[in-house]
């Protein structure tokens, strides 16, 4: 008799846990990168929509956040609708964001007074349901705050990106603490390919998938976002050994 009484409660708890883990029977919509080596590593074949994702820069990029911001801009450029981008520092460089595919006409730029206000703006934006994506540049992201953002994103189907930026390199250790985000990425700058004439080739990144719920971590050397927000594998990596090429690039850097 006690078992029968408890069953509905247990069933409800299991359903809530399944929703949090993204393991319910309904198909989750995804945003593919269009790069098979990356998409096949992600459950569903792409970046899960209606979910929270974390992005940070590697090395000095943990402070300046340039490569990570361009990666986030490229991802959100491929969504539909306006993009809410919340910051606490006035250093968002729109010409670079536009070159990564996110046109200024699609961007809603909000300057928050502090981290608490930034997280509140992110949550409101995710709950709104009428946006293509929400990006917030935050240094701290607790399990409680990330869970609220994840639930808000899940309820509306909006893509959420927590762009982790710190004021000092030592603060980047916070990136290792657990959160409720579905994936966690780190973007580091690599040397561009040499050209036969003076000039700079397309920028390259080391893209690290550090955490992926229901998936595995992986590293990719990619060419930076084009004006459509698309990344690509360099030809020598696509046709050769990515691990060997990534090691050579890091050593030369």
14-51: per-residue pLDDT in tens? 666 665 555 444 457 999 999 999 999 999 999 999 99
C-alpha 191/C-alpha 50 separation (Å) is 34
In this prediction, residues 221-226 reach a mean pLDDT of 96
Task: Output Rg (C-alpha) for the chain, integer angstroms.
Answer: 19
Element (H, E) at 209: strand 204-212
The pLDDT assigned to 12 comes to 67
In the DSSP assignment, the letter for residue 176 is G
Contact 92, 163 (CB under 8 A): no
77-123: per-residue pLDDT in tens? 999 999 999 999 999 999 999 999 999 999 999 999 999 999 999 99
- Does residue 161 surpass a pLDDT of 80? yes
* Residue 68 CB contacts under 8 Å (≥ 6 apart), including other chains: 55, 56, 57, 61, 163, 164, 165, 185, 186, 187
The pLDDT assigned to 248 comes to 52
Contact 24, 18 (CB under 8 A): yes
Where do the domains of the chain lie, and which CATH numbers do they carry? 28-191+201-252 (3.40.50.300)
55-72: per-residue pLDDT in tens? 999 988 899 999 999 999
Which tokens belong to 10? 């247990």
């Amino acid at each position: 008799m006690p078992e029968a009484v408890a069953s509905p409660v247990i069933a409800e708890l299991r359903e809530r846990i399944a929703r949090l883990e993204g393991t319910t029977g309904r198909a989750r919509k995804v945003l593919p990168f269009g790069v098979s080596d990356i998409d096949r590593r992600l459950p569903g074949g792409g970046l899960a929509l209606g979910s929270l994702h974390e992005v940070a820069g590697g090395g000095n990029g943990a402070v300046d956040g340039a490569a990570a911001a361009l990666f986030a801009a490229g991802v959100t450029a491929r969504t539909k609708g306006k993009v809410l981008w919340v910051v606490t520092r006035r250093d968002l460089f729109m010409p670079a964001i536009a070159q990564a595919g996110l046109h200024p006409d699609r961007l809603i730029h909000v300057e928050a007074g502090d981290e608490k206000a930034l997280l509140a703006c992110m949550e409101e934006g995710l709950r709104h349901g009428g946006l293509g994506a929400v990006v917030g540049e935050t240094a701290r992201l607790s399990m409680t705050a990330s869970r609220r953002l994840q639930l808000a994103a899940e309820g509306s189907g909006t893509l959420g990106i927590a762009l982790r930026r710190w004021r000092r390199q030592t603060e980047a250790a916070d990136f290792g603490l657990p959160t409720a985000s579905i994936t966690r990425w780190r973007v580091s700058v690599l040397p561009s390919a040499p050209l036969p004439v003076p000039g700079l080739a397309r920028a390259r990144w080391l893209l690290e998938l550090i955490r992926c719920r229901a998936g595995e971590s992986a590293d990719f050397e990619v060419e930076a976002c084009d004006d459509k927000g698309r990344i690509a594998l360099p030809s020598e990596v696509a046709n050769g050994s990515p691990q060997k090429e990534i090691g050579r690039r890091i050593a030369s850097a």
